[in-house]
Amino acid sequence: MTRRTRRAWRIDPLAIGMAFIGLVMVWIAVASALYSPEYVRRVLAWRESDQGDYLNHFPLRPLLASPSPYRFVDHREDDRVRAGFEHVLGIADLDEFLSERATQAFIVIQGHRVLYEHYFNGAERDSMLTSFSVAKSFDSALVGLAIDEGHIRSVDDAVTDYLPELGERDERFGEITIRDLLQMSSGLGYDANRWALFNGDDPLTTYYPDQRELALERTHIIDAPGSSFSYNKYHPQLLGLILERTTAMSVTAYTQTRLWDRLGMEFDGAWALDSDTSGFEKMEAGLNARAIDYAKLGILYRDGGAWNGDRVLSRDWIEESTSPDPERDRAAYYRGDFGRVVFAGGKGYYGYMWYGRLRPGGPPDFAAEGDHGQFIYVSPAHDLVIVRNGTRYGMPTAEWINTFYEFADQFADGPT
């Protein structure tokens, strides 16, 4: 081979770079045509969702502070609470521990008394904090309210009773019930991430600017409903559509009149919307509120649907939402990777968008849980509600839940 021939085969980095850029541009153009330019822009610009997305990027529909705000009794027992968590965690300083683990708010309430309420990493009592998937537990409450008021007949109704266009697209949607959506067992396909980036269901359910279209036209069935648990963010979108149609109100308006006002929320909140054009609430993760107001949903559920002497949600709905299904074959039902990890050991389960944990000899504990470590943890047996908000997990979800569970045990047994 001559020197000239060798030079002819030499790789040209500039040419390769230009070819790569060309392929990327084609890839972006195809994705923009298949979905929308705005969706592609969001995925590339915002990347993995964080607190800033739901507060600063998406349009917001406001929730106004209740005209009759409810304020808990301030009965601080900081030292006792600190000692309890420090014992469970094996640490020397709870406040330092929480701060180092990206916590923004940490609240412990027993009865209606605030025993501990502290804020970290720049957050204050009036800081708006994003719920992430804690929003799903609010969704569940709204469905219960719609059933109590007769807008929805039953959790055993087929979704096609309210969204008939799903059945027109695929008659098998008629086999999926509202209960299946609440329990994450619809049989709808959900691949969080796929190789082409834009076609993963996580980015689609997070950033697509028309979630109604997405839920009604792009969902597909891969399994029999009710046969297994599979975490799926199309479920809250479909529930939001059912709430809109049955109540003839936006989800925000229904939240305002049925929860925000009645629970005496002290501060304004907001639902993030998919876009100004569509104006549909981000049902999977888009509720924004103050930590002390998140606690009020926990108190409502801890007290069986009663609030300050008034009946807000039926006791039957609370119990049904937060209890395990005794007929489940756990091994068959929680067969996916998510289910095996989260519900390992036989104590955990998933209710109606609440995570539950059995407690021997008493009612189960349960929690609303969200990405980056958002929690509303409820222990009815010990009359406790714990709220934690943060910008990242700080430690695995299972460790937070174990910590709350063990704290409730030892705290109840300690001095009052």
- Domain with residue 70: its CATH number is 3.40.710.10
Residue 40 lies in a domain: yes
- In this predicted structure, which of 16-20, 50-54, 70-74, 169-173 has the lowest mean pLDDT? 16-20
Mark whether 86 and 40 lie in a shared domain: no
Mark whether 254 and 351 lie in a shared domain: yes
Listed in sequence order, the residues at least 6 apart from 252 whose beta carbon sits closer than 8 Å to its beta carbon are 61, 62, 63, 271, 281
Instruction: Give the SS3 label for residue 45.
Output: helix
Closest alpha carbon to 207 in 22, 329, 54, 8: 54
Mark whether 317 and 406 lie in a shared domain: yes
Mark whether 140 and 34 lie in a shared domain: no
Mark whether 59 and 33 lie in a shared domain: no
More confident residue, 330 or 5: 330
End-to-end CA distance of the chain: 90
Domain that holds residue 376: 51-156+250-413
Residue 224 lies in a domain: no
Please, what is the average pLDDT of the chain? Answer: 93
Residue 198 lies in a domain: no
Using a pLDDT cut of 90, give the percent of the chain over it: 80
Q: Is the pLDDT of residue 90 over 60?
A: yes
Q: Is the pLDDT of residue 6 over 60?
A: no
Mark whether 12 and 61 lie in a shared domain: no
pLDDT, average across residues 334-339? 82
Mark whether 24 and 11 lie in a shared domain: yes
pLDDT at residue 19, rounded to an integer? 65
User: Other CB atoms closer than 10 Å to residue 169's CB: what's the count?
Assistant: 14
pLDDT at residue 215, rounded to an integer? 98
pLDDT, average across residues 211-223? 97
The number of distinct structural domains making up the chain is 2
Mark whether 257 and 296 lie in a shared domain: yes
pLDDT, average across residues 327-334? 84
pLDDT band, residue 152 (cuts 50/70/90): very high
Residue 367 lies in a domain: yes
pLDDT, average across residues 229-250? 97
The tens digit of pLDDT for each residue in 375-412 reads 999 999 999 999 999 999 999 999 999 999 999 998 87
Residue 285 lies in a domain: yes
Q: Are 219 and 234 in contact (CB under 8 A)?
A: yes
Mark whether 11 and 133 lie in a shared domain: no
pLDDT, average across residues 271-283? 98
pLDDT, average across residues 32-47? 91
Residue 109 lies in a domain: yes
Mark whether 322 and 375 lie in a shared domain: yes
pLDDT at residue 196, rounded to an integer? 81
Structure tokens that stand for 17 in this block: 């770079």
pLDDT at residue 53, rounded to an integer? 86
More confident residue, 142 or 194: 142
pLDDT at residue 416, rounded to an integer? 45
Using a pLDDT cut of 70, give the percent of the chain over it: 94
Mark whether 132 and 23 lie in a shared domain: no
Residue 183 lies in a domain: no
Residue 148 lies in a domain: yes
Mark whether 346 and 267 lie in a shared domain: yes
pLDDT at residue 34, rounded to an integer? 83
Closest alpha carbon to 73 in 109, 126, 106: 109
